[in-house]
């Protein structure tokens, strides 16, 4: 099931001033035809052709927070321990290399302490299911040279997700990016540069908000049609100061760098190479750091899970030469 009851009208702030409005999943799946999960391919669907992707993923160690305080009263909270999520992506070819997209994600199960744990040990637990913010997108495929394509795109995230489940940013997000794909035969390489412009949120000692995007993907056709091997990774450098007000008051300096890599195996299911089934798994890197007069440590950024596994079915009909 991809839809639930409408999100409650709820403030983005808890009683203690922390934010409920934070999307705890940093991975954004790419619509349309692609060899990867998050990086788009270079081709657009023909006019009036419809494509889709359906993905189910499990995330572990999703969102933890160290509450600022002395050694005696500081706490580490598992706000989101694990989550199972479904995502439906629809793509429509608009002609002349343009395509539109709609992404609808839904958390079908999750467990954790939830936002109220930052204020009280007796707060409400994390809801077991929740809507995430849907998004709409527009992309334009441009052929630069033989085997080289550019596909500028922009996505608009709509704040319709659940505000009590770390499933919504609480405001409109704008995500422009510029992917470049080189595919000489069996091998393909993709690079994507972009921005993630959205409202900021404070969770314990961390302040999250707008970011730059650097992504890289490689793919190799090991067995024609039957086995495509893929590897992709992203870095999300912050565009703002990551020390929350609570951390700054205690002299804690924080710098957050969300990062993750995924390895995948994909098989094409039909002779037209329109249907594909992919299995993927990956993890995040502890590239964020926190420093104070007494301690210094590296940690995995909020929203980057300790581990992720995923299965995806994709249908993307492309024009044949």
For 130-148, give one letter per residue: b (16+ CB within 10 A) or e. Answer: bbbbbbebebebeeeeeee
Whether residue 44 is contained in a domain is answered as no
What's the pLDDT score for residue 70? 43
Whether residue 280 is contained in a domain is answered as yes
Whether residue 164 is contained in a domain is answered as yes
What's the pLDDT score for residue 65? 81
Closest-CA residue to 221 (of 188, 189, 191) = 188
Whether residue 264 is contained in a domain is answered as yes
C-alpha 232/C-alpha 312 separation (Å) is 15
Sequence-distant (6+) residues with CB within 8 A of 47 are: 93, 94, 95, 96
CB atoms inside a 10 Å sphere around CB 45: 27
Domain count for the chain, please give it: 1
What is the Cβ-side half-sphere exposure of residue 11, based on CA atoms within 13 angstroms? 8
SS3 205: coil
C-alpha 18/C-alpha 101 separation (Å) is 33
Whether residue 209 is contained in a domain is answered as yes
Whether residue 25 is contained in a domain is answered as no
* pTM given for the model: 0.91
Whether residue 36 is contained in a domain is answered as no
C-alpha 170/C-alpha 160 separation (Å) is 8
Closest-CA residue to 163 (of 21, 19, 25) = 21
What is the Cβ-side half-sphere exposure of residue 101, based on CA atoms within 13 angstroms? 31
Whether residue 5 is contained in a domain is answered as no
What's the pLDDT score for residue 5? 39
pLDDT 10s digit of each residue in the chain, 321 long? 444 334 444 678 776 678 889 999 999 999 999 999 999 999 999 999 999 999 999 999 999 887 655 443 556 789 999 999 999 999 999 999 999 999 999 999 999 989 888 877 776 789 999 999 999 999 999 999 999 999 999 999 999 999 889 999 999 999 999 999 999 989 999 999 999 999 999 888 889 999 999 999 999 999 987 899 999 999 999 999 998 887 777 788 899 999 999 999 999 998 888 999 999 999 999 999 988 877 888 889 988 999 999 999 999 998 665
What's the pLDDT score for residue 77? 86
Beta bridge partners of residue 261, listed in sequence order: 233, 283
* Residue numbers of the domain that contains 277: 50-315
Q: What is the CATH number of the domain that holds 56?
A: 2.40.160.40
What one-character-per-residue DSSP string does 36-55 give? Answer: SSSS--S--PPTT-EEEEEE
């Amino acid at each position: 099931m991809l839809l639930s009851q409408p999100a409650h009208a709820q403030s983005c702030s808890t009683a203690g001033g922390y934010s409920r409005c934070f999307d705890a999943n940093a991975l954004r799946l790419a619509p349309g035809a692609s060899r990867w999960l998050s990086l788009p391919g270079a081709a657009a669907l023909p006019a009036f052709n419809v494509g889709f992707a359906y993905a189910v993923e499990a995330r572990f160690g999703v969102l933890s927070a160290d509450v600022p305080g002395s050694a005696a009263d500081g706490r580490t909270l598992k706000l989101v321990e694990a989550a199972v999520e479904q995502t439906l992506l629809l793509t429509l070819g608009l002609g002349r290399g343009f395509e539109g997209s709609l992404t609808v994600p839904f958390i079908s199960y999750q467990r954790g302490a939830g936002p109220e744990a930052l204020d009280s040990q007796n707060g409400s637990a994390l809801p077991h299911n929740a809507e995430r913010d849907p998004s709409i997108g527009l992309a334009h495929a441009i052929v630069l040279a033989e085997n080289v394509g550019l596909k500028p795109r922009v996505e608009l995230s709509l704040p319709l997700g659940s505000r009590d489940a770390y499933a919504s940013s609480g405001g409109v997000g704008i995500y422009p990016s510029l992917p470049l794909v080189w595919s000489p035969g069996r091998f393909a390489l993709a690079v994507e540069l972009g921005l993630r412009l959205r409202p900021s949120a404070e969770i314990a000692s961390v302040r999250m908000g707008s970011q730059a995007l650097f992504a890289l993907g490689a793919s190799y056709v090991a067995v024609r049609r039957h086995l495509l091997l893929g590897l992709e990774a992203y870095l999300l450098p912050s565009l703002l100061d990551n020390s929350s007000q609570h951390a700054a008051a205690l002299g804690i300096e924080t710098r957050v760098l969300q990062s993750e890599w995924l390895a995948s195996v994909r098989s094409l299911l039909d002779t037209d190479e329109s249907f594909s089934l992919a299995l993927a798994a990956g993890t995040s890197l502890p590239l964020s750091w926190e420093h104070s007069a007494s301690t210094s440590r590296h940690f995995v950024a909020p929203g980057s899970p300790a581990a992720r596994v995923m299965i995806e079915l994709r249908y993307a009909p492309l024009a044949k030469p």
